[in-house]
Amino acid sequence: MSMLIEGVKSDYNAKELHFTDIYSGRGIWKKVTVAERMEIFDLMASVLINFELPVFYQTWSKEFKNDHELAFKKIKNLKIENFWNAQEVDHFGLMFLLFRMREGIKEIRKVIPGDFDESFQVYVDEGIAKAGNSIPIPCKGGDIFKEKVHFESSEHNLGIQIADFCAFIISRSQWIMMNKKGGEDFGSDKHILAINSKLNHWSPDIQFIKGDEKFMSKEGFEFFMKRDRQKKGCPHYKLMNSI
């Protein structure tokens, strides 16, 4: 990662990697060719793929809260360490992610004995709190997480830049699928989907769909999601408003 960042600084005068800007060709990336920008995506992907880094991905929305109304009633007034507030979208999203990471790491330890057996320090991109703050973790870390969450700037934390890459790839892949029209192929978007398919996902319920890409569409993707919701006993509503 250090070599990659130093190379990007040297070639493009970029202090850090913001993949939304790289993909869109914004700012310093405006005059950089698509091929060069995709090469940066491939280099970053190679880091995750070659080291098989586990990727935990969690979203949260009002619809999710409605699906689990009884559970949320129990935590309505839950506050931790006078900072974490379960009623705040960004607070609860992070709390839920840490919970799923904790359970996922427990599972990894079973699958690969001896690996991931250390106590991990949690780093979070500044936003909920300013860079430099350390706040007690909002869930029981056990022997998996250390006691405090450290908030840092992505410019000074390469791990956060890796997380930014994963978030972009996964979110963009969802957007591509939800805007896919039947009868068309994916075109250049196939590159992003290919990277996403190679990431070591641990948290999403992934529905693999095989077949001719021309027959894939947002309507077909919604069908699989609606069927999944029905199996889980979740209420029906227009999914396009919540993704």
Count of domains for the chain? 2
Asked if the structure places residue 133 within a domain, the reply is: yes
pLDDT at residue 37 in the model: 93
In this structure, are 67 and 13 located in the same domain?
no
Domain-embedded: residue 242: no
**Interatomic CA distance for residues 219 and 179, integer angstroms:** 9
Cβ proximity of 236 and 229 under 8 Å: yes
88 lies in some domain: yes
> Pick from 152, 183, 201: which residue ends a domain?
152
According to the model, what pLDDT value does residue 76 have? 62
Residue 182: what pLDDT? Answer: 75
The encoded tokens of residue 14 equal 């970029």
Q: Are residues 15 and 79 in the same domain?
A: no
From the first residue on, what is the mean pLDDT of each consecutive set of 10 residues in the chain (243 residues)? 88 89 92 93 93 86 72 64 79 86 88 87 94 90 90 92 94 86 79 91 56 62 70 60 40
Q: What is the secondary structure of 105-174 as a DSSP string?
A: HHHHHHHSTTSS-SPEEEEEETTSS-TT-EEE-SS--TTTEEEEEEEE-GGG-HHHHHHHHHHHHHHHHH
Assess whether 140 and 116 both reside in one domain.
yes
Query: Is 204 in the same domain as 227?
Result: yes
- Token readout for 30 is 């405006």
Rounded to 5 degrees, what are φ and ψ at 122?
-95, 125
Are 38 and 63 members of one domain? no
**The pLDDT of residue 2:** 86
Q: Measuring CA to CA, which residue among 147, 60, 146, 128 is closest to residue 96?
A: 60
